Amino acid sequence: MKIDQISDSVYVVAGTNVNWALVSDGSRVAVIDAGYPSDSADVIASVGEIGHRLGDIAAVLITHAHLDHIGGVPTLVERAGMPVYTGEEEVRHAKREYLQQISPVGMVKQLATARGRRWVSHTLPAIFGHIRMTLPTATPARAETLAALPGGLIAIPAPGHTSGHTAYLMPSEGVLFSGDALVTAHPLSPRTGPQILPSVFNHDESGTHDTALRLVTQPARILVPGHGLPVPFDPARFREALSGQ
């Protein structure tokens, strides 16, 4: 676990090949995404590392309901009982009314490359025993609810990677939490910098690309992706990088 403070109120935590974020207003904290199931202890520890107790967590916000983003949520809810919010459509995904996630066959195909084998070797232990994880308490992130949370966040619909994927903008400090709609690295990708994830992860590839281009127009100054390092927001450079995908 590595924690970096990227603005006055925002901390980005790197876990097992995935990020989550903490937004603090001094007395409360909002958790954005929650790593793999194997990251649960680190998610809890990260809250303490920035000077908060679990009881200070006002809510957990989920960009989307893949296992590498919801893994720590059940433990947080069990320990502290905070609400869990995500996009309205993604609530159905979080409750597993349907599943949009890389298939076992898709994972096996990754064994054909060295990058893929490394990724699989990290991923399988991180999800072991939790394949059927759901978020039964997930509810839609209403505008007035998000505005009252630390950071005064705004939900930005970001479909493609999953149908209900949602990004979150923090206007006061110019931070865009893009989840997996726009990332800066991934173990399966040979490049770093703004990009969409490899197609095996995206429910709708063209929709993912269109969403990434729309996110580039947001009034942000820092991009916090679900995978890869946070970077200064540079729309021209982002568009150029995405044009090659």
The side-by-side arrangement of strands in the sheet containing 166-170 is 154-157, 166-170, 175-179, 222-225, 231-232
Average pLDDT by consecutive 10-residue portion of the chain (245 residues)? 97 97 97 97 97 97 98 96 97 97 92 95 91 95 97 98 98 98 96 95 97 97 98 96 86
Whole-angstrom distance, CA of residue 12 vs CA of residue 225? 9
pTM: 0.96
Look at residue 11 in the predicted model and tell me its pLDDT. Answer: 98
Mapping DSSP to helix (H, G, I), strand (E, B) and coil, where does residue 231 land? strand
Give me the pLDDT at residue 198, please.
Answer: 95
Look-up: residue for tokens 């942000």?
Answer: 220
